[in-house]
Amino acid sequence: MGDKFNMKLFLSSSFEKTAGLLESKIGRKIKGKKVIFIENASDNHTGDIWWIRTDREAFLKLGCDIVDTDLRNISKDDFTKLLKDSDIIHFCGGSVLYLINLIKEKGLKEIIVDAVKKNKIVYTGTSAGSMVVSTDLSLCAFDQDEKDEYKKKENYCGLALLNFLILPHSNNIDFTGANIKMVEKLSNFSQPVIFIYDNQAVFVEDDKFEILSA
């Protein structure tokens, strides 16, 4: 895990299927908690973004207050204030590389990392939102849907909160093709990879992690 920090992360394939595990793990009552809800990873998706709806519905069922936040339109100062006033920051699924590019371009990477490492806010993610916390995201280049984004940058460091990469949807037939392409390239990739099913999440607390199943 690397250096020890006081942080909590709940990283899922599908937040909808694992949301019930969150409250017991973070040690705080969920009802009434303020969630920064970020769906930017799906900005360029042209079809139905049903997974955004299911993430939203899962938080609403937990009794959370959702603050929809578009990273394209928020200033660094306003985002910093929002972090201070919120309990959870949630990144939905979509394009991993588009999401990390946007975070960096807006100058928000250090702000997010600092807040999470100091346990000022709990980090939750679905799919791409769970992958982006890793140190090295270059394996994503072998996902056909990510190739255009990969060409835009040379350095694909993620938020670097973890020294392993989560590969979600390992039991979902809809992701078989993309996952196979990435698995084929694992021998060229030095960072450890953890595969999780759609009913699983990786919970990180300080310098330890565990795989949870719903």
* Domain extent at residue 180: 8-195
d(CA 202, CA 53): 22
pLDDT in tens, 187-202: 778 889 999 999 999 9
Note whether residue 210 is domain-resident: no
Locate tokens 């190739």: which residue?
Answer: 147
182 — phi, psi (to 5°)?
-75, -40
Note whether residue 209 is domain-resident: no
Note whether residue 31 is domain-resident: yes
CATH number of the CATH domain containing 83:
3.40.50.880
Percent of the chain with pLDDT over 70: 88
Note whether residue 146 is domain-resident: yes
Rg (CA), the chain: 16
Comparing 209 with 1, the larger pLDDT belongs to 209
CA distances from 71 to 45, 76, 82, 90 (A): 16, 9, 12, 12
Note whether residue 207 is domain-resident: no
pLDDT at residue number 2: 44
d(CA 115, CA 67): 17
pTM, rounded to two decimals: 0.91
Cβ contact 72:59 at 8 Å: no
Q: What's the token pair of residue 160?
A: 């670097």
Q: Into how many domains does the chain fold?
A: 1
Note whether residue 152 is domain-resident: yes
Note whether residue 203 is domain-resident: no
Note whether residue 204 is domain-resident: no
Locate tokens 């990969």: which residue?
Answer: 150
pLDDT in tens, 10-38: 999 999 999 999 988 887 789 999 999 99
